[in-house]
Amino acid sequence: MAAALQVLTANRLRDGAVVYGRGREWVEALADAEMFADKDAAEAALKVAAESVAARQVVNPYLFPVKEADGAIAPIEEREIVRAAGPSVRTDLGKQASGAFDVSI
């Protein structure tokens, strides 16, 4: 059985934007996130994220499951699909408007 893939996410404190972990940085695009196949590595990244919380950069970091689809990272859970796409009430704004994310469920 293949290992479950996970990505680290949080909300940036200064503007509430959804961000994703990549090393010790936070990026806005899910495509730029670091994917973890190893549970221990994922848990270690979550512990490192506590430093960003202490520095008041992000709030509520957590891991969520993803899959690889056509060489891209794709969220599995509906909540994360919505978070990755941006505001669901205005598809003419945010990540949806750029056309960079398929919002179909």
Least confident of 8-12, 77-81, 82-86, 97-101: 97-101
Residue 11 resides in a domain: yes
**Half-sphere exposure of residue 80, counting CA atoms within 13 Å on the CB side?**
20
Is residue 103 in some structural domain? no
pLDDT digits (tens, 9 = 90+) for 7-49: 999 999 999 999 999 999 999 999 999 999 999 999 999 999 9
Whether 36 maps to a domain, the answer reads yes
In a domain, 105, yes or no: no
Residue 104 lies in a domain: no
**1 pLDDT more than 60:** no
In a domain, 102, yes or no: no
Q: What stretches of the chain adopt beta strand conformation (E)?
A: 5-12, 18-22, 25-27, 35-36, 58-69, 72-75
Domain count, the chain: 1
| Structural domain containing residue 75 | 5-97
Quick check: is 65 in a domain? yes
Q: Per the domain annotation, does 45 fall within a domain? A: yes
Distance (Å, rounded) from C-alpha 46 to C-alpha 39? 11
Q: What does the alpha-carbon distance between residue 71 and residue 51 come to, in Å, rounded to a whole number?
A: 31
